[in-house]
Each structure stands twice: as C-alpha cells, then as structure tokens.
A and B are shown apart, each in its own frame.
Chain A
Amino acid sequence: MAESEHEFVGLANYLHLVTDPGFLPALGNTLALIALVLCISIGLGLALALLLERAVLGRGVLRLLVISPFFVMPPVAALIWKNLLMQPTSGFFAWIASLFGVPPIDWFASAPLIAIGLIVAWQWLPFACLILLTSLQSFDREQREAAQLDGASALAILHHLVLPHLARPMAIILMMETIFLLSVFAEIFVTTGGGRASTNLAFLVYSQVMFQYDIGVASAAGVVAVILANVIAFFLVRAVGRSLDA
C-alpha cells in the first residue's frame, strides 16, 4: 500500500473492476448465496417450526438445541462443518455416504458455494425457525378449529390460514437475513479462502486489497457492493415497511 502521487483516474477503477474476470462471478455468487440461504433457512425453518409447535415434552431442551447454531460464531461454524462433517476422508457426511455405498462428496472442491451456503443456512435456520414458531403460537386456535369444523384439511388450513398469517414474520426474516447475508465473509475466509467459485463481493474486495494490493479496484468493488445493498434495501425496506405498517 505504498503512497504514490494522487491522480484522478475517473472511472478507470470501475472499468478495471467490471472487466476483471472475477467480478461477475462474485456478483453472481453473492446473489446465489443469499437466495440459497434464504430458501433453506425459511423452508426448513417453517418445517421445523411446525414440528416444534406441536411438541409437548421437553420443549425447553428442544428449543435450546434448535436455537444453538445462531449463537455460534461464523468461523467456528465453518470450521466444524469443514473439518468434522464435510471432510471427504474422515468427515461425518463421508461416513453417511459410505453407509449407502456412495463415494463421498469433496464439498469444497466440487461445490464450494453450496457447501458455504449450507453452513450459513445452518446458522440462520434458528432465527427463521424461532420467529416463525413465535408467530405460529400466536395463530388463533379458534380460527383453526372453526376451519376444522368446516371440513378443511390440514393442508388447506396451512395454505389458506397459517401461511398468510406468517407473511409478515417471513418479510422480517427476509429483510434481516439479507442484511447480514450481503456481507458473508468469515465462512469463505476459513473454508475455501476464496477462489472463483465461492468468492462473493465482500471477499472480492478483501482479496483485492490483501493479495493484489489494488486499493483502487477494491474500493470500486466496495462501492458496487454498497450500491447493490442499497438497491436491494430500497425494495426490501419498502416491502417490509409496508407490512410493518399494516
């Protein structure tokens, strides 16, 4: 980071960035990672919340188990998954695969983005689940009973009554998770350490600075990340703001 003479270069850094072969993949990775994590955490979170809502015994213990990943610091989560679960020779998943006679997956070599997505989704699953669970528990029991008397099936009740009831908490989950997912960093840092297939914008900026010492392009990437964040924020905050007002 040697100080050279200051010179205004116009949009040159942005040109470099956009023509950088790593830029578009990083942009795509950022969006794919967010989409993947949102789908998994909300989908499984809803399933889990529906299960937990009916659990009668040992609720406290079950909740402790379910909530615990949220409190795990990202590097720890990433290391546990990478070394103890996804490790292709001795990991737990490799053992499961061997039980079925399938060759183990070398997660970080063959599907790094999905692997990272799984780790991040695991961390955000409790958040989605807990909010949906709380919302489910406030669902009017009489409404459900009335629907049952009307002969509605469990699936119909879920579709027509429960899911609309969950629209607002889902909007909140969407907003909160997106806020944090835009800047996923540590999970990439400790697992793949970058690479075309798993670098998101946050990590791209980091590697531009740390490995290529290119502050100009890194700053440009930072600005692009900020713009992206604002574009997403603009729509998200409007949608959620409306649902909060309702």
Chain B
Amino acid sequence: MSLHSSSFGRSAAHWTPNAHAQFLRHRVDDPSVGAAFIVAFPLLWALLASFKTELEAVAFPPRFVGFSWSLDNYRQVLGESDYLGALRNSIIIAGGSSLLTLLLGVPAAWAMAFAPTRHTRALLLWMLSTKMLPAVGVLIPIFLFYRDWGLLDTHLGVALLLTAGNLPIAIWMLYANFKEVPGEILEAARMDGASLTQEILIVLAPMAAPGLASTFFLIFTLAWNESFWTLNITTTDATTLTAFIAAFSSPQGLFWAKLSAASMLSIVPVIVIGWLCQRQLVSGLTFGAVK
C-alpha cells in the first residue's frame, strides 16, 4: 500500500475519485480476496470474539461490530490463569527441542549430503516413514520408561520426545538445503585447513543460513503446536500452551471470549514469524522439489 500513498503524495492530480473507485472495485471483485477471508474467517471470528464480553460472544444472531470492544479478556487471561507459566513452558520446550533437533540434524544432514553412501537415499526414506508411526503406538512404553526415569511432566522429557519426533523432518529439510551447497566449497575449506567443526560452522552454516532458519522455524512451529505428548505426559510443571488451551474444553467453563483471547495470544507469535518465513518454508518443506 505504500506505493499508492506515495503516488498519491507526488501526483495528487492523477489520483482522481474515479481511479480510487476503480481500485476499490478491483479489490472487491477479486475473488481471491473473498476466498482468503473465508479461509482465515475462523481465526478472524475468534479474534473478534476475544474483544467481546462472554454474553456478546454467544449472542445470537452474532454481533459483527455492534458490541463494546474491550481488552478485559486479555487482561483476565494474562492476570488470572497460569497463561504465562504455560507460555514459558512452551517457549522452553519448543525452543529447547528445536535447538537440540538442529544440533543433531545438521551433522546427520551434512553426512548424508556430502559423504553419501549407496544406502543414503533408502535411509532418508526410511527415516521419514518412521515419522508416520502414530506417537500413540509408543505411548505406553514411553510412559512407563518416563515414570521410572522421573521424566514425566518435565521440560527435558517433553523436549526429548519432540526432538525425536521432528528429527526426520528436520534432517530431510536440511539435507535438501545442503544439497544446494556446492561440495567443492567445503572441500576448499578442508584444503584450507578448516576442521570439521569449522567447516560446518564457518563455511556451511552461513551458506545454508536461509535453510537453517526455515528448518528451525518449521520445527519450532511443529513443537509449539505438538499436542499429543504435551497433553499426555505433562500435568502441571511442564504443561504447555496446547495443554493450557485444551483445558478450556472442559464443559463447566463456557468462557468463549476468554478462550478466544487465550487462543490469539498462543498463536500470534508463530503466525507472524511464519508469514515472514513463508517462502523459505515452502522450499524447505518440499525438499527442493518445488521451486
């Protein structure tokens, strides 16, 4: 939109009411605008509800604008519930497991991309297929192990599981990214006397930075939104936002406006970063098969 405001400033004479109407009509006529709004509607509707009172939120017929806008829901969510504790746990668990995933995934992807064997491709596919095992298939053994090891309801315990779950996706994304880096440059670094660590940190990492960033972000999002382990092996100390929000489903509290506010608070950070990284995200997710 900055383009239009600047052209408006420079040559107001050309910016006739007619042109403005044409511009508006174009925007309204464009079916993609309507479609995009429909896709995002559930979120926008929840956003609207988060500014309503509980009564207005359940009003029938629904109120679109005719209600008293207020930030009370946000105030209450932030003040009364343990939202902040859950947020803290989510950040620690998602952030920690994402870092750990990269720490393990980068060397693995390096080996597969730059020192492949004839089994590398099969290994990659097999790894990805393990991702298809429903987590629930190992819920019991994990639960029993964790109980015995004292890992239930701990940050470390959840982070380890999320790391294990996301590692195949991370390695795939990193592998696809590293494949784009010319191997000769790493060999040049080796000839120049760089150690393996230096080769990866000083030479490879800066070149693969966009890929590393998009991998980190996707893994972070997946970890942030993960809602099987977080619901099943956390109870109090390590409950994340997913468990916090799920608690709103209990029938006794029909606080939908407050729920909406809490929901908005829990997703806005990821959406904003996701929007900023969407292009890298796509190329990373499709393993470079779609340009």
Q: Is B159 part of the binding interface, using a Cβ–Cβ cutoff of 8 Å?
A: no
State A230–B275 Cα separation when bound (angstroms).
Answer: 34
Residue of A nearest to B274 (CB): A71
A75, B285: Cβ atoms under 8 Å? no
Q: Is B74 part of the binding interface, using a Cβ–Cβ cutoff of 8 Å?
A: no
Count A-B pairs with CB separation below 8 Å: 252
A71, B139: Cβ atoms under 8 Å? no
Q: Is A226 part of the binding interface, using a Cβ–Cβ cutoff of 8 Å?
A: yes
State A85–B256 Cα separation when bound (angstroms).
Answer: 11
State A186–B244 Cα separation when bound (angstroms).
Answer: 12
State A193–B143 Cα separation when bound (angstroms).
Answer: 21
Q: Which residues on the B side are within 8 Å of A176 (C-beta)?
A: 285
Q: Is A218 part of the binding interface, using a Cβ–Cβ cutoff of 8 Å?
A: yes
A223, B227: Cβ atoms under 8 Å? no
* Least distance between B33 CB and chain A CB atoms (Å): 7
Task: Report A55-98 residues with CB < 8 Å from chain B CB.
Answer: 55-58, 60-85, 89-90, 92, 94-95, 98
B225, A73: Cβ atoms under 8 Å? yes
Q: Which residues on the A side are within 8 Å of B281 (C-beta)?
A: 130
Number of A interface residues in the complex (CB < 8 A): 86
Number of B interface residues in the complex (CB < 8 A): 75
Q: Which residues on the B side are within 8 Å of A68 (C-beta)?
A: 39-40, 43, 267, 271, 274-275
B30, A55: Cβ atoms under 8 Å? yes
* Least distance between B236 CB and chain A CB atoms (Å): 17
Q: Is B134 part of the binding interface, using a Cβ–Cβ cutoff of 8 Å?
A: yes
With A71-B271, A71-B274, A75-B249 known as contacts, the answer to whether A80 contacts B42 (CB < 8 A) is yes
A186, B246: Cβ atoms under 8 Å? yes
Interface residues of B (CB under 8 A from A): 1, 26-27, 30-33, 35-37, 39-40, 42-43, 45-46, 49, 57-62, 121, 125, 128-129, 131-141, 143, 221, 224-225, 227-228, 231-232, 241-243, 245-246, 248-249, 254, 256, 259-260, 263, 266-267, 270-271, 274-275, 278-279, 281-283, 285-287, 289-291
Q: Which residues on the B side are within 8 Å of A76 (C-beta)?
A: 242, 245, 263, 266-267
With A80-B46, A80-B263, A90-B59 known as contacts, the answer to whether A51 contacts B137 (CB < 8 A) is no
Which stretch from A109-117, A149-157, A233-241 is at the chain B interface? Answer: A233-241
A89, B231: Cβ atoms under 8 Å? no
